Amino acid sequence: AQSVTQLDSQVPVFEEAPVELRCNYSSSVSVYLFWYVQYPNQGLQLLLKYLSGSTLVKGINGFEAEFNKSQTSFHLRKPSVHISDTAEYFCAVSETNAGKSTFGDGTTLTVKP
C-alpha cells in the first residue's frame, strides 16, 4: 500500500519570499509523484510530475520539485511567491503498475502582501 504525508497543513509566507511545501511518501514499489494545486471553489489541476530521470522537475507558474528516493520525499519549492499563489496544494503518489493515486491531506499556502 502507498501513503502520502504532507508535513505542513498551513504555510503562511510574505510575497516575494521563497517557499517549500514538504511531502513524504511510503511505497514498497516504484512510484510516480505529483503535485496538484486547487484554487478556491475549483477542481485540482496538475502542477508538475515526476515519472523518471532527472530528480528535479519543473512545473507551471515557476514551481519546481525535487525527488529524493533515499528520503522518500518530493518537496515543492518556489523561489519567489506571488499573492496569486495562495491556494491548496496536494501531493499525490501512484504506483507505476497501478491506475489510482493516493493524495495527501493538503497544504494551504497563504501569501501575504
Partner 1 sequence: NAGVTQTPKFRILKIGQSMTLQCAQDMNHNYMYWYRQDPGMGLKLIYYSVGAGITDKGEVPNGYNVSRSTTEYFPLRLELAAPSQTSVYFCASRQPPGQGPGTYGYTFGSGTRLTVV
Q: How far is the CB of 51 from partner 1 (least distance, A)?
A: 6
Task: Give the residue, chosen from 90, 93, 109, 111, that forms a contact with partner 1 under the rule CB under 8 A.
Answer: 90
- Which residues within the stretch 28-87 sit at the binding site for partner 1 (CB under 8 A)? 32, 34, 36, 42-46, 49, 51
Give the length of the chain.
Answer: 113
CB 38 within 8 A of CB 87: yes
* Triad 56, 43, 102: Cα angle to 5°: 55
103: contact with partner 1 by CB under 8 A: yes
CB 23 within 8 A of CB 105: no
* Triad 71, 75, 78: Cα angle to 5°: 150
Q: How far is the CB of 80 from partner 1 (least distance, A)?
A: 25
Query: In what helix (H) or strand (E) does residue 54 lie, and over which residues does it extend?
Result: none
Q: How far is the CB of 85 from partner 1 (least distance, A)?
A: 19
Q: Residue numbers of the site for partner 1 (CB under 8 A)?
A: 9, 32, 34, 36, 42-46, 49, 51, 90, 94, 96-97, 99-106
